[in-house]
Amino acid sequence: MCMHYQEYSPVPALRSVVERIWTLTGTAADLGGEDQPVLPDGRPELILHLGDRFDRIDANGRVDRQPAAIFAGQLTSQLTLRPTGRIDVVGVRFHPFGAVSLGFGPLSRLSGLTIGVGDVSSRLASALDQVRGATGDVSVAASLVQRALLRLTDVARIDDRVRHATRLIGHHRGQVSIDRVAANLSCTRRHLERQFLAAVGVGPKRLARIARFQHALQLIDRADPARPGTATAAACGYADQAHFIRDFRKLAGCSPGEHLLKPGTLTGFFTEHEKLTMKP
């Protein structure tokens, strides 16, 4: 397999908005011609295809060719993609609250969607078209995309309470009471919910659920035979094994056992990012 996935730290001026920049190169044949599941991770993303665009497969099997420049809102269930040829992709993974800095709000209207950037920002769409016209090299494009974002982001659009709440949820890997988070920020749970829907795209409880799922996914993907499913469920704060399997199935579209038997290559790249990160 000749796929190459690389991650970069964002430039300093974008670090309060962007978690990481990533690039992916290869061909559809490198993925064995198989459909690729992408699982919820609590982060909206900006995707730029320099090569052949991917198809998105919906739950009914309908195939839609994606635009060259895409904004992906918060995923709330498995997304299925199918590469169609040459793969040259640049991705921007925002912090859970980061995309609101581009003025896309409310983010809740974009949850579960992968839509053309032109549908949310004509200025950003124009800037990304210029990047595609300027280079076919993903590493060069990654730098140009960041320059475009620097011109369009406004960190004043980010609510400090939402920023702090998402970090608390992440720090506890989803195992934290939302009432406790709200109290820590001296606001009501209802107020925090409204702010999250606008700035993150999902409520704090849903984000915590995704964070817990991601923790479970990482434990599963380590494939430690000494850690049975019951231990993973307990480590991630699920009430019992049945709760773990039910929640996993809703977010991943399959059981934990099925995920282990046929993990998606793209999911593997993204969940193992700790081993791949590099600085430019």
CA distance 269 to 276: 9
2: amino acid identity, one letter = C
Tokens found for residue 57? 């497969």
% of the chain with per-residue pLDDT over 90: 76
With 0.85 as the threshold, say if the pTM is over it. yes
pLDDT tens figures, 65-116: 999 999 999 999 999 999 999 999 999 999 999 999 999 889 999 999 999 9
Last residue of a domain, one of 125, 156, 187: 156
Question: Taking a C-beta distance cutoff of 8 angstroms, is the pair 85, 52 a contact?
Answer: yes
Last residue of a domain, one of 156, 177, 211: 156
* pLDDT of res. 275: 39
pLDDT tens figures, 236-264: 999 888 999 999 999 998 888 887 766 55
Last residue of a domain, one of 156, 191, 215: 156
Domain extent, residue 250, equals: 160-267
The strand order across the sheet containing 114-116 reads 114-116, 69-72, 45-49, 86-94, 18-27, 4-8, 277-278
The answer to whether position 131 is within a domain reads: yes
Q: Where are the alpha helices (DSSP H) in 154-203?
A: 160-171, 178-184, 189-199
The answer to whether position 193 is within a domain reads: yes
Question: Taking a C-beta distance cutoff of 8 angstroms, is the pair 216, 248 a contact?
Answer: yes
Are 86 and 202 in a shared domain? no
The mean of the pLDDT values for the chain is 90
Are 94 and 31 in a shared domain? yes
User: How many domains does the chain divide into?
Assistant: 2
Is the pLDDT reported for residue 139 higher than 80?
Answer: yes
The answer to whether position 112 is within a domain reads: yes
Q: Where are the alpha helices (DSSP H) in the chain?
A: 122-134, 138-152, 160-171, 178-184, 189-199, 204-221, 229-235, 241-252, 256-261, 265-271
The answer to whether position 276 is within a domain reads: no
Are 144 and 12 in a shared domain? yes
Give the CA dihedral 133, 134, 139, 141, nearest 10 degrees: -60
Are 255 and 172 in a shared domain? yes
Task: Identify the band that residue 31 occupies on the pLDDT scale cut at 50, 70 and 90.
Answer: confident
Task: Identify the band that residue 22 occupies on the pLDDT scale cut at 50, 70 and 90.
Answer: very high
Are 179 and 60 in a shared domain? no
